[in-house]
Amino acid sequence: MDERNATDEKLVDFGFETISEAEKTQRVKGVFDSVADNYDVMNDLMSFGLHRLWKRFAVMAAHVRPDHQVLDLAGGSGDLSRLFARRIGERGLVVISDINGEMLRRGRDRLIDSGCNDNVVVVQANAECLPFESGRFDIVSMAFGLRNVTNKLDAISEMYRMLRPGGRVLILEFSKLKIAALQSIYDAFSFRILPRLGEWVAKDGDSYRYLAESIRVHPHQEKLASMMRSAGFERVRYRNLAGGIVALHDGMRF
């Protein structure tokens, strides 16, 4: 790469580092290739099992109907897709999509094991450049995936493009803690305990150190809401869960 191209290349966050877009895409892939086998166990340890309640809350907030078409982005674990599939029945369809093949294979296997494969389609795709026709879906969801996307605004714009008029987007993501008295405890857990858990359970402390850092540099509640409005969404709102550790953003396309 010549000096001019190196200077012009856009830089993005990778945790607390600043790297090129291409490098982030590859390094995030490496993170999830590494943690895929222990992803579910680590989610339970990281959230004390609360991630299951947060995901159920997001699906309930979607108000899906039996004939709805749902796109579950960064859905590799299959958790939201499974919940959606049980609500839409045989007349609806859930498309589970993830950029990471290892995560997607695990999600697909879990969906088959739970009997939720008749109304679910699995597609490996980049959330920043989706292969589906515009206006196809009634609901687009993304749970704990946006902070790992290289260009977040591109992904949010793609979510908008995917929705038909009247459709809704739901973004469930770690956010900014709103209880100041708990900040030091939260920081200690994130930066000291979490990487050690990652090392003990997943044999990969570095990946979980990145995941903790990625939460801190992810846009806070108001910033993410502003990005959604910039992409065209209306009636944008967010609800804090666990004191703002997690937030559920939703918006509509009219």
Contacts of 222 (CB under 8 A, 6+ apart): none
Are 84 and 71 in contact by the 8 Å Cβ rule? The answer is no
pLDDT truncated to tens, each residue of the chain (254 aa)?
Answer: 444 444 467 899 999 999 999 999 999 999 999 988 888 888 998 899 999 999 999 999 999 999 999 999 999 889 999 999 999 988 999 999 999 999 999 999 999 998 887 899 999 999 999 999 999 999 999 999 999 999 999 999 999 999 999 999 999 999 999 999 999 999 999 999 999 999 999 899 999 999 999 999 999 999 999 999 999 999 999 999 999 999 999 999 99
What span, in angstroms and rounded, lies between the C-alpha atoms of 190 and 186? 6
Tell me which residue of 172, 218, 169 sits closest to 53, measured CA to CA.
172
The torsion angles phi and psi of 213, rounded to 5 degrees, stand at: -65, -40
Q: Where do the domains of the chain lie, and which CATH numbers do they carry?
A: 33-178+210-252 (3.40.50.150)
Q: What is the Rg, in whole angstroms, of the alpha carbon atoms belonging to the chain? A: 18
181-219 burial, b at 16+ Cβ within 10 Å, e below that, comes to eeeeeeeeebeeebbebbeeebebbebbbbbbbbbeebb
